[in-house]
Structure 1
Amino acid sequence: MDKPSAPKIAAHTGCGIAPDNTVESFMEGIRLGADIVEVDLRVTKDGIIVLLHDDSPLLHECTYEQLNQLETRVKVSAIYEKYEIVRLSDILQIAKQYEVKLNLDIKTPAAIEPAIQLVKQYQAENQVFITGCSESITSRHRDIQVVFNTPNEFTAEERNDYSLYAEKVCKESVSGSYYGLNMNYETCHQEVVDLAHASGLAVWVYTVNDPDVMRRFVQIGVDVITTRAVTELAGLTR
């Protein structure tokens, strides 16, 4: 049997010292040598896509300029006393400069269309993967690579017969024209990797920080491992 190729490394936002979803964190992912850097996306009142994981009432009440004022942004999180709230447009420009790929983890359906339009504006279709909220993207934007977020839990039948889960997620991904599967690592086993690859699907796993778990996924041949421990994973794969 041929040895599987080494998986790509996706740096989870906050993979270094800087807080999640800051420009500084994004640059840390690049400096550590990740193939892909992940960020979380939400949308402001005026339709600006920003890097934030959690929802806030202020997103629905404020324009981006209002939200990014110091007295307002610290109400979103204390980290914003020292950091600005970042726009996706800023990240797309940096990604172009450094030729790094992006995993855009869309956290709300309202952010889907403005995020896709920005990707197209920056001609980054081949540089971007979408995870998270992805409903209707593959039917409306066939030039965008979307990785299907698989269920984090098994049904009772699937717990007794994992093949049912593997067949379900692969069938749904193929029928939905997805690029691949984005899986919580606890739900990913060799059977689904083999079936996905046979179906023309890539397999991503998240968020893997333990070296022993990393080794297991390297061995079973997943395509991308998302991690906060980029250096450790690079030591196993490069």
Structure 2
Amino acid sequence: MTAPFPLITAHSGCMDTLDNTLSSIETGIRLGADIIEEDIRVTRDGIAVLAHDDEWRTEDGRLIHISKMSIAELQELVLSVDYAGKSGTMTIARLDEMLARVQAAGITANLDLKTDDSVEAAAALIHHYKMADQVLLTGCGPDRAMLVQQTHPELRKLLNVDTELFLTQEYTDAVRRTCEDAAAAACIGLNVPYQLVREELLEQAAARSLPVFVWTVNEETLMERFASMGIASITTRNVDALVRLKRSLTTETTKVPE
């Protein structure tokens, strides 16, 4: 391989774990991921927690909303999960619990911000743990990216690519607009669903010094394809397979010719 192997980002709910759980974080760390990705929302009293959706069902069938509950109320509940082919029960974890684990492992946290109010809540914890250099903010379209830039320009963020833009405009125009939006908000890279990645995007992003992070690649054949394209990071639920691919390709490149 000529390009460095991409950073391995463990998607929330990697392997057989439930999404946005401490088990997911610990599994990604144990398997050797470089980055741990989790979704961020905020409770009624401003506490950042790990959750993709605002609406949940409790184990006994009640409908609740994270944004309408205090952290004390929320953490008393056992929630029912049926998502991404997985089912079970879980309790809500706090962002500070994630950051403590990522900091101890010496790797990077990818915080996928689901709401604008999660910006301030996440920033406060990032600074509390002195982890500005260990955190990437994602979930940022142009407006949220600009909000981060205006309120916390010291934090690193990726621009989430607008899929609708690529569906409604010519690919070249969508790439140009995306790169312009990233530059306007001082984003350090692009966060792109793998289905939208073409050489043109990679070339234009590279010309503007915007590393490309792709998500979510679970199939091993696709992993090998993207690993050879100069991608900065691959997000996957199948962390074990991507780690094995990295080891096999690294072994091949370090063999001494006979």
Q: Same fold (TM over 0.5)?
A: yes
Q: Closer, same or farther in 2 for the Cα pair 1:59/1:191, shift >3 Å?
A: same
Give runs of ≥4 in structure 1 deviating > 3 Å: 76-83
Q: 2:149 aligns with which of 135, 138, 144?
A: 138
Report Cα offsets for 1:34-89 as digits up to 9, x if no partner. Answer: 0001000111111011101111243233210111113xx43x64899853310001
Contact 2:81 2:89 in 1 (8 A): no
Within-5 A mapping of 1:76-95 = 77=81, 83-95=90-102
- 1:139 CA drift (Å): 2.8
Q: Distance in 2 between matches of 1:183 and 1:80?
A: 27
Identify if the C-alpha distance between structure 1 residues 156 and 114 changes in structure 2 by more than 3 Å, giving closer, same or farther.
Answer: closer
Letter in 2 for 1:152: T
Aligned equivalents of 2:90 and 2:169: distance in 1?
47
2:120 is equivalent to residue 113 of structure 1: yes
Residue among 36, 58, 66 paired with 2:73: 66
- One of 139, 164, 184 as aligned partner of 2:193: 184
| Correspondence 1:214 to 2:204 | no
Offset of 1:155 from its aligned partner? 4.1
- CA deviations over 1:82-103 (Å, ceiling 9, x no partner): 5331000111111111112110
1:152 pairs with 2:151: no
Distance in 1 of aligned mates of 2:214 and 2:67? 32
Alpha-carbon distance, 1:17 to partner = 2.3
Distance in 1, Cα, partners of 2:13 & 2:213: 19
> Distance between the aligned counterparts of 1:157 and 1:105, measured in 2?
26
Q: Tell me what 1:128 maps to.
A: 135
Distance 1:181 1:204 in 2: 6
Hey, what's the Cα distance between the residues in 1 that align with 2:69 and 2:106?
32
Q: Aligned residue for 2:27?
A: 28
**Contact (CA 8 Å) 2:54, 2:67: kept in 1 or not?**
no
| Further displaced range: 163-172 or 77-86 | 77-86
Q: Contact 1:58/1:67 (CA < 8 Å) preserved in 2?
A: no
- SS of residue in 2 equivalent to 1:126: helix
**Identity between Structure 1 and Structure 2 (%):** 36
Task: Tell me, in whole angstroms, the C-alpha distance in 1 between the residues paired with 2:30 and 2:238.
Answer: 13
Task: Output the CA distance in 2 between the equivalents of 1:26 and 1:131.
Answer: 17
Separation (CA, whole Å) in 2 of partners of 1:10 and 1:17: 16
C-alpha RMSD of the superposition = 2.0
Q: Residues 96-111 of structure 1: matches in 2 within 5 Å?
A: 96-111=103-118
Q: Using the alignment, how far apart are the partners of 2:81 and 2:219 within structure 1?
A: 28
Contact 2:3 2:228 in 1 (8 A): yes
Q: In the alignment, is the contact (CA less than 8 A) between 1:14 and 1:228 conserved in 2?
A: yes
Deviates more, 1:194-203 or 1:44-53: 194-203
CA distance in structure 2 between the partners assigned to 1:188 and 1:168 by the alignment? 15
Which amino acid counterpart does residue 90 of structure 1 have in structure 2?
A: E
TM-score by length of 2: 0.84
Residue in 1 aligned with 2:13? 14
Structure 1: which 5+ runs fail to align?
A: none
Aligned residues: 231
CA distance in 1, matches of 2:67, 2:152: 26
Shift of 1:18: 2.1
